[in-house]
Amino acid sequence: MFSIIQAAGWPIWPLIASSVLALAIVFERFVSLAQNKVAPPGLDGAVTAATKQRIPSRESVADLAKGSLMGQVLASALQALHEQPQSSEEEVRAAVQHSGRVVAQRLQAQLSALATIASAAPLMGLLGTVIGMIEIFGAQAPTGGGGGNPAQMAQGISIALYNTAFGLLVAIPALVFWRYFRARVDAYLLTLETAADQLVRHLKKCGHIAS
């Protein structure tokens, strides 16, 4: 492996750094976007059932907010009612929307960096290719001289090919994972939006929200 890196020259080091960063982002996103951390199954139904008769205590609402991102969004509606029991539906929805924007930002964290790596890696590989071509042309003997420098030509070819290949090896998985996480985040956002809307409607129907 070290011999390949050595043959690829210094242009491969930014690609190696990008690959390590991309791997760290992918691992972090898999952990952060686990379903139990974002939208545990049945949580919206449990909150609806718990608010049928009355609004849960502040302590229970705080625990709900800490449990998951869906809990944070749903708890924002209940916290608004604790702070202002006569809140209108518009005020409760405003609190939910604010919390939803914060949660959306957390869900989308690091995805722009992953997309940047997917876009930049082929360009960094192309830079290595160009540098390799410069090495090849530099190995050519001046007009009227003897043959070129074979060792320098071989080094230029190695730099060009290895950097091109490694750039694609970094970019393709990064792009695949970015699309996967993007779709997963969109699905979570739809789930959270639906759960929040149903809770607000439920609170209004039960008389917890002022008409």
Cβ contact 177:26 at 8 Å: yes
pTM attached to this predicted model: 0.84
Q: What per-residue confidence (pLDDT) applies to 140?
A: 64
| Encoded tokens for 211 | 């008409």
Contacts of 37 (CB under 8 A, 6+ apart): 31, 68, 69
Beta-carbon contacts of 28 under 8 Å, excluding residues fewer than 6 positions away, are 110
Question: Mind listing the pLDDT tens digit for each residue in 74-122?
Answer: 999 999 999 988 888 999 999 999 999 999 999 999 999 999 999 999 9
38: its two tokens:
């974002």
Residues in CB range of 44: below 8 A, 6 or more apart: 70, 74, 195, 198, 199
